[in-house]
Amino acid sequence: MSPEAPATADVPGPMLLAPLWPRFGAIVYESVLLFGITFLASWIFVTTIGDATIGPMRFVFRGYLFAVIGVYFVFCWRRTGQTLAMKTWGLRLRGPDGRAISLPASIARYTLAVVSATCAGAGFLWAFVDRDRQFLHDRLLGTRIVRAPI
């Protein structure tokens, strides 16, 4: 392979959309992984900064956790198009052209997914009425979760 050839994660492949059940399975598994990530991040914050339950520090703490979780997702999506949960369930995130998504698109997807989750999961439940079974944030950004070899 020549040095100019794109990485495997950037090579477009078949755009076979993943079914809903593995995507929701990955979400459940992701929540277990995020528990560990937020536990460690919270411990670091509390041991270095102090109490984060009162006053303006609770908003700083929430912003900090939002950023830590965002770094996890954006890093994984940019690096391979997969988080650990997505890899376990055989899923990969792709842009409209079949390639890995850009940094701004990764940040936008994370932000929209958080909004979807905080609105009683409405953006995720959107997949049940969408013609292609896409989550709302994927529909808005043109991203797709496709099947990937495990």
Q: Round to whole Å and give the CA distance between 87 and 23.
A: 11
Residue 57 CA to residue 48 CA, distance in Å, equals 13
Helix (H) or strand (E) holding 93: strand 91-94
Q: How many CB atoms lie within 10 A of CB 78?
A: 17
pLDDT digits (tens, 9 = 90+) for 50-94: 988 888 999 999 999 999 999 999 999 999 999 999 999 999 999
d(CA 87, CA 110): 18
* Mean pLDDT, residues 12-32: 88
3-state secondary structure of 132: coil
Q: What is the pLDDT of residue 3?
A: 41
Contact yes or no for 108/141 (Cβ under 8 A)? yes
Question: Does residue 147 register a pLDDT over 90?
Answer: yes
Q: Is the pLDDT of residue 1 over 60?
A: no
Give pLDDT, residue 10.
Answer: 55
pTM attached to this predicted model: 0.87
Mean pLDDT of all residues in 104-124: 96
The span from the first CA to the last CA of the chain, in angstroms, equals 23
Q: What is the phi/psi pair of residue 16, to 5°?
A: -75, 110
Q: Answer positive or negative: Cα dihedral of 137, 107, 79, 65.
A: negative
Beta bridge pairs of residue 145? 93
Instruction: Note the pLDDT of residue 8.
Output: 47
Torsion of CA 64, 69, 71, 74, to 10 degrees: -140
